[in-house]
Structure 1
Amino acid sequence: MKKYLFLSVIIFLFGCSNDFNNDSVVVDLTHRNEMRNFVIGISSYAKAINPNFAIIPQNGIELVTENGEIDGQLSTTYLNAIDGNGQEDLFYGYDTDDVATSNEDSNYLNNFLQLSNNSGNKILSTDYCSTQSKMTSSYIKNNNLGYISFAANQRNLNVIPNFPSSIYHENTNVITNLNQAQNFLHLINAENFTTKSQFINAVIATNYDALIMDLYFKDGTAFTASEVLQLKNKANGGKRIVISYMSIGEAESYRYYWQSSWNGSNKPNFLDAENPSWAGNFKVKYWIPEWQNIIYGNDTSYLKKILNAGFDGVYLDIIDAFEYYEN
């Protein structure tokens, strides 16, 4: 996630426009409004099925105000639709892993995060640092702000760190909702685990209050409701909540919904350019109904699969896709 600054005069001149013409790129507030409405729709659908289901968008924190400015009017509908915000690189990793984020960038992000936190939402901060002193610093700095955090020693989020030896704010509590969590494990990549059972056993040997993981194991099979139930057990007898990752701002060629014809001339109208930093990930025009129908709103949607598997919430990624289209 990188922040992009736009001239206030341009936002003023174009911000009220709702005229969205297919492929045209308009530098206004339309793109962020469309993402905000997308998240609100996801929340409404999920909470109609499970009122306690947590909605946690990652990055794109500017959506908490109507105009994306720190002094802008709060987007109360959006803030009420979500239960937390995920934020990467708040203190470490913004430009380079294991390197401190500049004070300017950190303060920029934190000013928006505080607005959401003050509105009652939980902040989950993931810093990318592997030096133990920096990992310790990350936990302390986030805790001082009232955030729960995870110091990830791998950008791929594919390992359970062995530092610190005792999880920060480890406890024996039975965690039933996001607000009760005092720490979390961010483990969305299962590439280092041979089987589902190995993954499950590794997680239940820990005492994290919350787990962010993928609905699917590396072989493409989904975790079942009974497997997710196992993952809710902490080693010390407590319970955790389990949250599923779901990308809504990019399509991923390794997902169940991907069709081989999309690799050729028969790609859908919502599919856009491949992300040069992540092979197999493609930008999507997330405002187009065909893409949104893949994500939520029906019994075959991605979100319904997550709900059916018994997850306690969803971690929405590539929220900041609006920046791509604004530029």
Structure 2
Amino acid sequence: MKKAIFILAVIALAGCSKNDDSSTTTEDRDFKQDMRNFVIGISQKAKTANPNFAVIPQNGIELVSSTGEEGGSPAIAYLDAIDGNGQEDLLYGYDNDDQATKTATTAYLKSFLDISKNAGNTIFVTDYCSTASKMANSYTANQASGYVSYAAPDRDLAVIPSGQPNNVNSDNITQLSQAKNFIFFINPVNYATKADFIAAVNATNYDAIIMDLFLEDEQFTTAEIAELKHKANGGSRLIICYMSIGEAEEYRYYWNTLWNSSKPEWIAAENPGWPGNYKVKYWNNDWQGIIYKNSDSYLDKITTAGFDGVYLDIIDAFEYFEE
């Protein structure tokens, strides 16, 4: 039933979608629905290649509500297209790292996260805290809420914490709902080679690894991704690829050097917090072609490499355009 609803919803969305030409005035757009449609399109293509492929949007959790507001009915087509939601800073890090998130903010985010959880999706929470007691509390509180969590000691996501993962196990993890822990580990700056990175990951027992497709400019191969799918204790795990879809990154393979002097119309302002990252009009066909519509898209590279899923970032880009 879930798949049937999903297919019908995609057809309906395709029939009533707005003109995606970048010249369309942004004031006339439903920015939340544009992002939902984008994610649904990514999911549809990925699951055509691999029905078990996991699609996990991070942040922008308001999209699970049909109104984008608390109390709205579930956005069924969107929820059926995804397998989980990622959320940063739920309990720690929203204002400052290693600082508790305000209770009202946590409650607001949970009101949406639970819509997704109740729809059968897995919730991955990344809290940014380094004090041992706060890390322990993050794990305990998130587990009580039915979420899988990672207490990240650094926002650069460049280190593997010492010790065993929370809820360590030797189970074979073949689908997202089976994961009891994960690590968000997308910055391999401390590793000179892919072999060094692989050795470090293979010494761990995480059920799911969220990592980048590249180390510097060198893409991980299908054989290397297969090698990473084995926990040190003998169990199997999921390898999930990070991909930003709400911003263009000038250090990525797709960046055209001509854009340094003359950017296309669909590239908007630079993110002041992350130099080299640019907000994009994510509904634009050229950008969506780079991400998933073209035959050699970013998504194609990820699925061909053998990843088990994709972790979609800057889902909350709609906030920039709404403001």
Scaled by the length of structure 1, what TM-score is found?
Answer: 0.91
For each residue in 1:126-166, what CA deviation from the matched residue of structure 2 results, as whole angstroms up to 9, or x when unmatched?
A: 0000101101110011100111000000001000011xx23
Structure 1 CA distance for aligned equivalents of residues 189 and 240 of structure 2? 18
For each residue in 1:32-73, what CA deviation from the matched residue of structure 2 results, as whole angstroms up to 9, or x when unmatched?
A: 100000000000000011000000000000000111112112
Determine the structure 1 residue equivalent to 2:51.
Answer: 51
| SS at 1:283 equivalent | strand
Determine the structure 2 residue equivalent to 1:195.
Answer: 193
Aligned runs of 1:311-322 on 2, under 5 Å?
311-322=307-318
Determine the structure 2 residue equivalent to 1:159.
Answer: 159
Structure 1 CA distance for aligned equivalents of residues 45 and 104 of structure 2? 37
Going from structure 1 to structure 2, the CA distance change for 1:29 and 1:263 (only over 3 Å counts) comes to closer
Structure 2 CA distance for aligned equivalents of residues 212 and 32 of structure 1? 25
Going from structure 1 to structure 2, the CA distance change for 1:318 and 1:195 (only over 3 Å counts) comes to same
Structure 2 CA distance for aligned equivalents of residues 231 and 255 of structure 1? 23
Going from structure 1 to structure 2, the CA distance change for 1:75 and 1:29 (only over 3 Å counts) comes to farther
Q: Does 1:175 align with 2:176?
A: no
| SS at 1:56 equivalent | strand
Determine the structure 1 residue equivalent to 2:266.
Answer: 270
| SS at 2:293 equivalent | coil
Q: Which runs of 5+ in 1 are unaligned?
A: 1-15
Determine the structure 2 residue equivalent to 1:22.
Answer: 23
Going from structure 1 to structure 2, the CA distance change for 1:299 and 1:25 (only over 3 Å counts) comes to closer
| SS at 1:296 equivalent | helix
* TM superposition shift of 1:19: 7.3
Is contact 2:164-2:204 (8 Å) kept?
Answer: no
Is contact 1:125-1:149 (8 Å) kept?
Answer: yes
* TM superposition shift of 1:18: 5.2
Going from structure 1 to structure 2, the CA distance change for 1:240 and 1:274 (only over 3 Å counts) comes to same
Identity of aligned residues (%): 58
Determine the structure 1 residue equivalent to 2:293.
Answer: 297
Determine the structure 2 residue equivalent to 1:221.
Answer: 218
Structure 1 CA distance for aligned equivalents of residues 261 and 29 of structure 2? 32
Determine the structure 2 residue equivalent to 1:242.
Answer: 239
Aligned runs of 1:114-193 on 2, under 5 Å?
114-162=114-162, 165-193=163-191
* TM superposition shift of 1:194: 1.3
Going from structure 1 to structure 2, the CA distance change for 1:208 and 1:17 (only over 3 Å counts) comes to closer
Structure 2 CA distance for aligned equivalents of residues 293 and 299 of structure 1? 8
Structure 1 CA distance for aligned equivalents of residues 19 and 306 of structure 2? 39
Q: CA RMSD in A?
A: 1.5
2:302 maps to a residue whose letter is: I
| SS at 2:241 equivalent | strand
Determine the structure 1 residue equivalent to 2:282.
Answer: 286
Is contact 1:58-1:315 (8 Å) kept?
Answer: yes
Runs of 4+ aligned structure 1 residues displaced above 2 Å come to: 16-26
For each residue in 1:184-234, what CA deviation from the matched residue of structure 2 results, as whole angstroms up to 9, or x when unmatched?
A: 01100000111111110100100000000000102x110000000111010
Is contact 1:87-1:125 (8 Å) kept?
Answer: yes
Determine the structure 1 residue equivalent to 2:91.
Answer: 91
Scaled by the length of structure 2, what TM-score is found?
Answer: 0.92
1:204 maps to a residue whose letter is: N
Name the count of aligned residue pairs: 307
Q: Which is richer in helix?
A: 2
* TM superposition shift of 1:297: 2.2
Going from structure 1 to structure 2, the CA distance change for 1:326 and 1:133 (only over 3 Å counts) comes to same
Aligned runs of 1:70-81 on 2, under 5 Å?
70-81=70-81
Structure 1 CA distance for aligned equivalents of residues 19 and 192 of structure 2? 50
* TM superposition shift of 1:315: 0.2
